[in-house]
Amino acid sequence: MIWRFGLYESTFEPQWYSHWALLAILVLPIFIGLLGAFFTPRRLFPVALACLPILLAGALLIVDYLQVGLLRWQWDIAGVELSLRFNGLSGLMLMITQWVGTAAAMYTPGHLQLTNPGKHARWLWPLMGVLISALSLIWLAVDLLTLYAALELMGLAAVGMLLLSGKPDALKAGMRYLLLALVGSLAYLLGVALLLGYWGELDLKSLVEVVEPSPVSWVAAALIGAGLALKAALFPLHGWLTPVHENAWTPVSALHAALVIKASLFMLIMLWGILLPDALFAPRLVAWLGMLAIVWGGLIAWRAESLKTLVASSTVGQLGYLMVAFPLLLGSAVSPLPGALAWEGFWLQLMGHSLAKAAMFMAVGNLIIATGESSIKGLAGTSRRLPLSLLIFGIASVTLMGLPPSAGFTAKWLLLQAMVMTQQWVAVAALLIGTLLTAAYVFRVFRYSFDETAPRHQYQPLAPGMDLIALCLALAAFALGLLAHLPLALLQGGGA
Amino acid sequence: MNAAWLPLTTLAVSLVAAGVIFLLPEDARRLRTSINLLAAVSKIILVTLMVGRVSQGFEDTFSFQIVGGVEFVLRADALGVMFAGLSSLLWLCTTIYAIGYLEGAANRKRFFGFFSLCVASTLGIALAGNLFTFLIFYEMLTLSTYPLVVHSGTAKALAAGRVYLRYTLTGGVVLLLGVVLLYSLTGDHSFASERGLSPYLNDHRGLLTLIFALLVGGLAVKAAMVPLHGWLPRAMVAPAPVSALLHAVAVVKAGAFGILRVIYDLYGIELSVALGVTTVLAIAASITIIYGSLRAIAQQELKPRLAFSTISQVSYVILGVSLFGPFGTIGALAHLLHQGLMKVTLFFCAGNYAEELGIHRIDEMDGAGKRMPLTSLAFTVGALGMIGLPPIAGFITKWYLGVGAIQAQRYWVVAVLVASSTLNAIYFLPVLHRLWFREGPAHGKGEWPNEQCLGRMETHGWLLWPAVFTAVVSLGAGLLAGLPFSPLDWATRVAVGEYLP
């Protein structure tokens, strides 16, 4: 757990350009977001151009990591030591964040033009920037307080983005989300206070050394776990997720499902790895809940009437796959090979889901804009007029179903192998049933869309690039599945 | 010298064709047709190249790593090239047929795009060099055929699509479980390795049997073995070219081919016999053969009758495999090709009757031989071949299967073969009788259900010539079975490779 999250001293100093790259990934998104609020871009191209330096900075960091191994920065600000680190996992998460973020940003101008968003829409840009910066900080932070600050910033930005549309439903969902996010933060903060009071450490690296199994660490882990699970919408704390996605703008939904909830999950795994190094019960509990999540999310999505509910509930089920892997990630009882397989499968699944879910939200958003209907039944007959949007939906859902040649499949393969090796047959069954349930709700969409007897509607044409961006995301999930060893090599690198 | 580009290019041809077709606008009919034909022809050329390479003793392999311990492998070996040859030849015929069949219909872009994807998956299945790669293309086939099955968009088609998915996706999940179990037992196991799985026999007998059951159970869904055959007759609502290609070649053969791979290249035939699974498989295949034939007799419509006949005929392949011996193997492999040729002919003809005359039911076929002589001749060749009459291709396989059964001293298999041939005759001969010897609308009695007069000849040329061509090839495969590179010759080469390494 210590080396997996890069909680050790680095061997070499980062190259000079890495400092600038670090600054760029943390500050540039906010800065460019503010610019966006002033200039309100109406085309895709300037957005892409503006995102380029951020992507470049992220790539530079990865290049540096490949050369010198773990990157570590330390500052002494007014007697408080602040440090950041960049390891392979941070690199992967940062890459996903930046690319999905860029895709969502490029999608936004077209979406705003076609949906008559209201006068506050320009503030979407800075909020998006804050969100990306906060996420980047979460992947890099190594102390509980920075993590908390970044988490809070991210949550507030997400709520802000939701409230922008100004619709009463969105306000209601947003306030509820805000309230729950605050409760989650509070639980997290209580846990942190407990740790600070007992061991007097906030830095994760020092915490690893002093923490020992005791009621204090258990209670703290429980508090932190509950808070983060609430924010990550882990079953059964997922109730707020569907209303949020139901009312959010498409790029906001895409960012939220792809990245925001993943950040809490990332922190959960990292902190539990530190606080509960030998845990047996807690990961099992999560795994059992995960199995329920797969079935429950699948069933809800299957029964869903509205497209967005379907996609949102599918997130609940997909998070279940990640939860089921918990016993293989945490605890010292896991033998090395299945542990490593599950570790790779977990992150691959997470990344694949991010790409595919963002693509799916965009495809669904396009379908809703084009048809003017948000229910699944309203799709009847769309296969003739909107084949591309449906195709994107299909490609994205291949990843969600975990069928080849997608990242979802490769991840499922790795997880299944790990579970077979450790003889967790119930988990195996849950994963396989998940595939079938996902297929059931995904193909429901196709069943309606292939209906040729439906009356013809007027379709609103889409802005240029809206389909293309989604297609690229969906295909990226395929590429990730076929070339999985390349990103996964980053996870293994730096394994001191 | 390893020409890694060869299997890769062969696969890429149809993938690229699919991509381009999706990019073209719906009304770019000429361009789409050209791309379709160009891809189909270049694929035949590439597969011919591969056949040449394999006969010179090369096994061109393309591979790259997916994750640690799992590779994506395409390998052109004798068995794979055999299936690839069949699918690429029939792809050309079916593409020509489909262009004629869908003239003026809606959603042709979607149809041809997924059609190409479907063929790409079939080719991937043929060339897959290990079980993981096989699984990738096997699932791709499931997904790419769904839009073809529901193509017409009617309630019936959509319901059939749902049933189709239920069967095939569940089968795929079972297969996945089997593959994962096998990989965690043995690691990546190439189809080319000579060892088989016998080193694991002593310690893991039960597990090996379980894995075999899972693998074959998953594959048997696509191979439409009883009782997992329910999707096939329903999927007959698809357009005729889909029925022809899917049910003669792609889907059902993918299942049968997968079972061949599992038995010959994964477990090894000796191990399968030692596990006792071949006997079970032989019994299951026999039940399927008899049951399919019995159900075929009961069908009143032409396409469902052909579908049940497919169920019955594909299991000949399985039956041949499970007879431990070279003759059974040769019969099985040759039947994989022969049945494809003959069944595609029959479906083309059924499609022609439906398009030209509106005939769907068998009792409407009276006297159609006079109105559509070439189509009916082709149908006759296909039907007689199915019954197993010399000199058509079907006779060869039944003969080899029979000899194989006697050599293996399983006399009840001979009884099954005889019974099945009799049943085939019972459901095909009345059709032929109606075609040629009854008087119907062509003789001035009554009217055709929906006569179209699509072309100068008996029907549209694009519909007619593929049917005639495949009929001639089925005849040729039987008459010229002794020549080099005939299906029988190639099957013998594969079988010899399996038994005399």
For B190-203, what is each residue's pLDDT tens digit?
A: 887 776 777 787 78
Query: Tokens in use for A475?
Result: 């295909």
Is B158 close to A451, i.e. CB distance below 8 A?
yes
Is B153 close to A383, i.e. CB distance below 8 A?
yes
pLDDT at residue B416, as a whole number: 92
Domain ranges of chain B: 276-501
CB B348, CB B90: distance < 8 Å: no
CB A104, CB A135: distance < 8 Å: no
A8-35 per-position pLDDT tens digit:
888 888 888 888 999 999 999 999 999 9
Query: What residues of chain B lie within 8 A of the CB of A414, using their CB?
Result: 67
Query: Tokens in use for A418?
Result: 């790990």
A259-310 per-position pLDDT tens digit:
999 999 999 999 998 888 887 888 899 999 999 999 999 999 999 989 999 9
Query: What residues of chain A lie within 8 A of the CB of B66, using their CB?
Result: 410, 481-485
pLDDT at residue B438, as a whole number: 87
Query: Tokens in use for A357?
Result: 């879910």
B183 touches chain A (CB under 8 A): yes
CA–CA gap between residue A135 and residue A158 (Å, rounded): 11
Q: How far is CA B223 from CA A17, B174, B395, in A?
A: 59, 14, 22
Q: Give the ipTM.
A: 0.91
pLDDT at residue A3, as a whole number: 77
Is B165 close to A482, i.e. CB distance below 8 A?
no
Cis peptide before A338 (omega within 30 of 0): no
φ, ψ of residue A6 in degrees (nearest 5): 70, 35
pLDDT at residue A1, as a whole number: 67
CA–CA gap between residue A100 and residue A112 (Å, rounded): 18
pLDDT at residue B69, as a whole number: 80
CA–CA gap between residue B189 and residue A257 (Å, rounded): 38
CB B227, CB B236: distance < 8 Å: no
Nearest to A421 among B142, B172, B184 (CB): B184
Q: What DSSP letter does each residue of A327-354 carry, written as one string? A: HHHSSS-S-HHHHHHHHHHHHHHHHHHH
pLDDT at residue A56, as a whole number: 94
Band the pLDDT of A81: cuts 50, 70, 90: confident
Higher pLDDT: B233 or B2? It is B233
Section B290-299 average pLDDT: 92
Interface of A with B in 440-469 (CB under 8 A): 443, 446-447, 450-453
Give me the half-sphere count of Cα atoms (radius 13 Å) on the Cβ side of residue A252: 29
A323-362 per-position pLDDT tens digit:
999 999 887 778 888 888 999 999 999 999 999 999 999 9
Q: How far is A128 from chain B (nearest CA, A)?
A: 33
Band the pLDDT of B256: cuts 50, 70, 90: very high
User: Is 50 exceeded by the pLDDT of residue A496?
Assistant: no
Residue B335's identity, in one-letter code, is H
CB B229, CB B311: distance < 8 Å: yes
Instruction: Specify the pairing of strand B70-75 against strand B61-67.
Output: antiparallel
pLDDT at residue B452, as a whole number: 80
Q: How far is A186 from chain B (nearest CA, A)?
A: 40
CB A494, CB A487: distance < 8 Å: no
pLDDT mean across residues, chain A: 89
Chain B residue whose CA is closest to A444: B162
pLDDT at residue A52, as a whole number: 94
Cis peptide before A405 (omega within 30 of 0): yes
pLDDT at residue B377, as a whole number: 92
pLDDT at residue A493, as a whole number: 57
pLDDT at residue B276, as a whole number: 87
pLDDT mean across residues, chain B: 88
φ, ψ of residue B71 in degrees (nearest 5): -120, 155
CA–CA gap between residue A431 and residue A437 (Å, rounded): 10
B332-357 per-position pLDDT tens digit:
999 989 999 999 999 999 999 988 88
Q: Lowest mean pLDDT: which of A183-192, A458-467, B205-214? A: A458-467
Section A143-161 average pLDDT: 92
pLDDT above 70 coverage of chain A, percent = 99
User: Is 60 exceeded by the pLDDT of residue A494?
Assistant: no
User: Is 50 exceeded by the pLDDT of residue A495?
Assistant: no
Band the pLDDT of B500: cuts 50, 70, 90: low
3-state secondary structure of A73: strand
Query: What residues of chain A lie within 8 A of the CB of B211, using their CB?
Result: none
Instruction: Specify the pairing of strand B61-67 against strand A80-86.
Output: unpaired
Q: Hey, how many other C-beta atoms are within 10 angstroms of the C-beta on A178?
A: 18
Query: What residues of chain A lie within 8 A of the CB of B183, using their CB?
Result: 417
Give me the half-sphere count of Cα atoms (radius 13 Å) on the Cβ side of residue B495: 23
> Helix %, strand %, coil % for chain B, to 5?
75, 5, 20
pLDDT above 70 coverage of chain B, percent = 99
Band the pLDDT of A379: cuts 50, 70, 90: confident
Section A249-262 average pLDDT: 92
Instruction: Specify the pairing of strand A80-86 against strand A71-77.
Output: antiparallel
H or E element, residue B306: helix B302-322
A174-199 per-position pLDDT tens digit:
899 999 999 999 999 999 999 999 98
Higher pLDDT: A278 or A473? It is A473
CA–CA gap between residue A191 and residue A193 (Å, rounded): 5
Most confident of A75-84, A437-446, B96-105: A437-446
CA–CA gap between residue A330 and residue A376 (Å, rounded): 40
Q: What DSSP letter does each residue of A192-247 carry, written as one string? A: HHHHHHHH---BHHHHHHH--SSHHHHHHHHHHHHHHHHHHT-TTS-TTHHHHHHH
Strands (E), A89-201: none
Q: Lowest mean pLDDT: which of A218-232, B129-143, B266-280? A: B266-280
Q: How far is A409 from chain B (nearest CA, A)?
A: 9
Give me the half-sphere count of Cα atoms (radius 13 Å) on the Cβ side of residue B339: 30
User: Is 90 exceeded by the pLDDT of residue B29?
Assistant: no
Is A451 close to B153, i.e. CB distance below 8 A?
yes
